[in-house]
Amino acid sequence: MKVAIIGQGYVGLTISAYAGEFYEVVGFDKNSRIVDQLNNGTSHIEGVESATLLRWIKAGRYRATTCEADIADADLVVIAVPTPLSDERKPDLSFIEAACKTIGENIDRPILVINESTSFPGTLRNYIKPAIEKYSKKSVVHQYAISPERVDPGRSDFNQKNTPRLFAGLTQESSAKTREFYSRFCDNLIEVSSPEVAEAAKLFENTFRQVNIALVNEFAQIAHSLGISVYETLDAANTKPYGFMKFTPSAGVGGHCIPVDPTYLAAAAEENGAPATFIRRANEVNLEMSEYIVNRVQADNNGSLQGKSVLIVGVAYKPNVADVRETAAELVIKHLRDRGAVVSWHDEVVGTWHEEISSPLSGADISIVITKHDVASIRDILASAPYVFDTTGRVPGAKGL
Ligand SMILES: NC(=O)c1ccc[n+]([C@@H]2O[C@H](COP(=O)([O-])OP(=O)(O)OC[C@H]3O[C@@H](n4cnc5c(N)ncnc54)[C@H](O)[C@@H]3O)[C@@H](O)[C@H]2O)c1
């Protein structure tokens, strides 16, 4: 069976690496730099080993391409393209639309189309299927299914094999074929009654994280106002063996999922006349953390940041990955610059960001730790400035939340 995977980023390349053991995979991506790199056997995604890619390339079971016609003879297509927010912070399905166009214009026999991109309930039925039909030259009848991706880049304990996977087809035939496809490399497949349930479940999982992170971020501010340690209090609450799940405070939420997916759910809710006030407020609380942190740092530094050199330590959105999408570091830097600080950043894992290279971990007036990678030594962080503020709870000896 030949499988075409549209989008070779975090989700698409991860699936390619697993599927390559059992199927012939063509990875279609619009980015020619990524495609060239992949065809040389170099992975750009944490958790996908270059050695695995090379193995599949040598065995003739993997090839990346920018040529749409290369997907024409695929028996199954997986959509794994971005689903960001527009400038007005509304769901932006333009990448999905482009993927549908590629499928519609290039595949003229019935196949199975599986969407792994995250989107609001009804996307598969009311958007993807009609869009592919719109672009198809012939009136070909494809099968359609959704299987929202749950990959957590950089994580080693849960992977494609042992992470339960939700799925649902628009028909029984598409559900059966979807099960058959994933069962080779996923141990636990959970079929739900409709694609809308699978789509909503994915959004709710990430909304659950978003609101709990907002809650703990608000609690960090309350604990500070009470003069108690937020970390000690959370550890104390966490001794309860049931009914509590520990989240830790931070400078905000980052990555492609948690800051974005809840807005997809809120948009769907509001479109259907249901309130999403809790989700909207959680988003605000998380966004406001950056200003709260800068206020704390300013207050500790004689009430002014004017002309101070401030080093941001860790700009990735989470530890041990190079992903800077929606990183909270961005807003912290903006608030610091608005107050006249001279800001630089250090992140060995990210290396280059906004066409700037990582600065040395030394010589600042103030260091603010946004993300603590394992490679960053606590001793070096503490020595990098006379005043160090830690937002992660992972730098003992620093000031912090
Ligand atoms: N990154 C995660 O941890 C994660 C986890 C679960 C779900 N998701 C969801 O999966 C989807 C993909 O996310 P990602 O993190 O893999 O994105 P990504 O940005 O890492 O990769 C997307 C890739 O798609 C390519 N692309 C864009 N438009 C294209 C098109 N029309 N045709 C071909 N290629 C195209 C881009 O060049 C890019 O390489 C999103 O909906 C996201 O919300 C992501």
Q: How far is the CA of 79 from the centre of ligand 1 (A)?
A: 9
Tell me whether residue 100 is one of the annotated catalytic residues: no
Place of tokens 């948690």: 258
Q: Look at ligand 1, atom 41, and give the residue with the nearest C-alpha.
A: 117
Q: Look at ligand 1, atom 15, and give the residue with the nearest C-alpha.
A: 10
Assign 390 to helix, strand or coil.
strand
Assign 165 to helix, strand or coil.
strand
Q: Which residues pair with 143 in a beta bridge?
A: 112
Q: How far is the CA of 7 from the centre of ligand 1 (A)?
A: 6
Distance, CA of 276 to CA of 269 (rounded, Å): 6
Question: Among residues 387, 371, 319, 311, which one has the least CA distance to residue 342?
Answer: 311
pTM: 0.92
Question: Among residues 377, 365, 316, which one has the least CA distance to residue 336?
Answer: 365
- Tell me, what's the pLDDT at 153? 74
Q: Look at ligand 1, atom 10, and give the residue with the nearest C-alpha.
A: 117
Q: Look at ligand 1, atom 25, and give the residue with the nearest C-alpha.
A: 7
Residue 27 has which token pair? 């990875």
pLDDT digits (tens, 9 = 90+) for 154-202: 788 999 999 999 999 999 999 999 999 999 999 999 999 999 999 999 9
Q: To test the ligand 1 pocket, which listed residue (10, 71, 203) has its Cβ within 8 A of the most ligand atoms?
A: 10
Q: Who lines ligand 1 at CB under 6 A?
A: 6-12, 28-31, 34, 80-83, 95, 98-99, 102, 116-118, 149-151, 153, 256-257
* H-type alpha helices, 73-165: 94-106, 123, 129-135
Question: For residue 350, what are the contacts with CB-CB under 8 A and spacing of at least 6?
Answer: 315, 316, 322, 324, 358
Backbone angle region of 45, left / alpha / beta, with phi > 0 → left and psi within -120 to 50 → alpha: beta
Select which of 67, 100, 186, 257 is catalytic: 257
Q: How far is the CA of 293 from the centre of ligand 1 (A)?
A: 31
Long-range contacts at 159-163 (CB < 8 A, ≥ 24 apart): 159/47, 160/14, 160/15, 160/18, 160/185, 160/186, 161/18, 161/185, 161/186, 161/187, 162/187, 162/188, 163/188
- Tell me, what's the pLDDT at 17? 96
- Residue 321 Cα to chain centre, angstroms: 11
Beta carbons of 4 and 26 less than 8 angstroms apart:
yes
Backbone angles phi, psi at 61, to 5 degrees: -110, 5
Ligand 1 atom with minimal separation from the 34 CA: 39
- Tell me, what's the pLDDT at 194? 98
**Polymer length in residues for the chain:** 401
Residue 322 has which token pair? 């190079």
Residue 215 has which token pair? 């809650």
* Side-by-side strand order, sheet with 387-390: 342-346, 309-313, 366-369, 387-390, 399-400
Place of tokens 């937020």: 230
Ligand 1 atom with minimal separation from the 119 CA: 41
Place of tokens 């099960």: 179
Distance, CA of 401 to CA of 249 (rounded, Å): 8
Q: How far is the CA of 77 from the centre of ligand 1 (A)?
A: 14
Q: How far is the CA of 236 from the centre of ligand 1 (A)?
A: 39
- Residue 225 Cα to chain centre, angstroms: 32
Q: Look at ligand 1, atom 20, and give the residue with the nearest C-alpha.
A: 9
Which stretches of the chain score pLDDT less than 50? none
Q: How far is the CA of 117 from the centre of ligand 1 (A)?
A: 7
Q: Give the DSSP letter string of 279-318.
A: HHHHHHHHHHHHHHHHHHHHHHTTT--TT-EEEEE--SSS
Widest distance between CA atoms in the chain: 71
195: enclosing H helix or E strand:
helix 195-226
Q: To test the ligand 1 pocket, which listed residue (13, 26, 29, 92) has its Cβ within 8 A of the most ligand atoms?
A: 29
Ligand 1 atom with minimal separation from the 45 CA: 20
pLDDT digits (tens, 9 = 90+) for 35-76: 999 999 999 998 899 999 999 999 999 999 999 999 999 999
222 burial class (0-12, 13-18, 19+ CB within 10 angstroms)?
exposed
- DSSP 8-state assignment for residue 358: P
Q: To test the ligand 1 pocket, which listed residue (119, 256, 257, 263) has its Cβ within 8 A of the most ligand atoms?
A: 256
- Residue 83 Cα to chain centre, angstroms: 10
Distance, CA of 124 to CA of 144 (rounded, Å): 7
Q: Look at ligand 1, atom 18, and give the residue with the nearest C-alpha.
A: 9
Beta carbons of 379 and 398 less than 8 angstroms apart:
no
- Residue 146 Cα to chain centre, angstroms: 18
Q: How far is the CA of 228 from the centre of ligand 1 (A)?
A: 42
Q: Look at ligand 1, atom 43, and give the residue with the nearest C-alpha.
A: 118
